[in-house]
Amino acid sequence: MSLYQPYPPFDCPKELGMYPLLFDEGKATLTQEMMHTLQRLGKILRMPLCDHIRIEVQGHADSTGSERYNIGLANRRARAVTYYLIYDEGITPERIIRSQKLEQGIWTGEGYGENVPISSNDTEKGRALNRRVQFIILPPNER
């Protein structure tokens, strides 16, 4: 019997899926903690084992405020995260699904407003979970 036990294979999608970012109500500003999380995410995305991975950056909001406001807020959240990944972490825009370069030269992700909750908007805890940016991992050929 060998004492050597190999490490389990690194699972890029599993690792990347562990990083939802939760925002304060009405805010789209990245905190130091979020930037630290995005640095870890960028490090994973730059690993040779994960360089084929493409992600969708999805911004979300709770149901506080109008639908129009929440879609704009969700877009600002997705934009802040996408911008950070591209300009601070060096992730190429082609690896971020549905990223768009706006007229001002700013890259943005996809904002869904309050339309895709993961928890009830009837409680503060639920609303806090819905104010998020999450990453969806897609195969290299899916767009």
Q: Is residue 5 part of a domain?
A: no
What tokens does 136 get?
A: 């969806």
Read off the pLDDT of residues 75-107 as tens digits, 9 standing for 90 and up.
999 999 999 999 999 999 888 876 555 555 555
Residue whose C-alpha is closest to residue 75's, from 38, 115, 45: 115
21 vs 14: which has the higher pLDDT? 21
As for how many domains the chain has, the answer is 1
The pLDDT, as a whole number, for residue 112 is 85
If you write DSSP's letter for every residue of 64-80 in order, what string do you get?
A: SS-HHHHHHHHHHHHHH
Does residue 55 lie within any of the structural domains?
yes
Both structure tokens of 67: 């639908």
Contact 98, 56 (CB under 8 A): yes
Residue 38, domain member (yes or no): yes
- Beta-carbon contacts of 3 under 8 Å, excluding residues fewer than 6 positions away, are none
Residue 108 belongs to a domain with what CATH number? 3.30.1330.60
Assigned domain for 143 exists: no
Residue-number span of the structural domain to which 80 is assigned = 12-138
Residue 46 lies in a domain: yes
Domain assignment present for residue 6? The answer is no
Question: In 10 A of CB 104, how many CB atoms?
Answer: 5
Asked if 94 and 78 touch (Cβ cutoff 8 Å), the reply is no
For the whole prediction, is pTM greater than 0.85? no
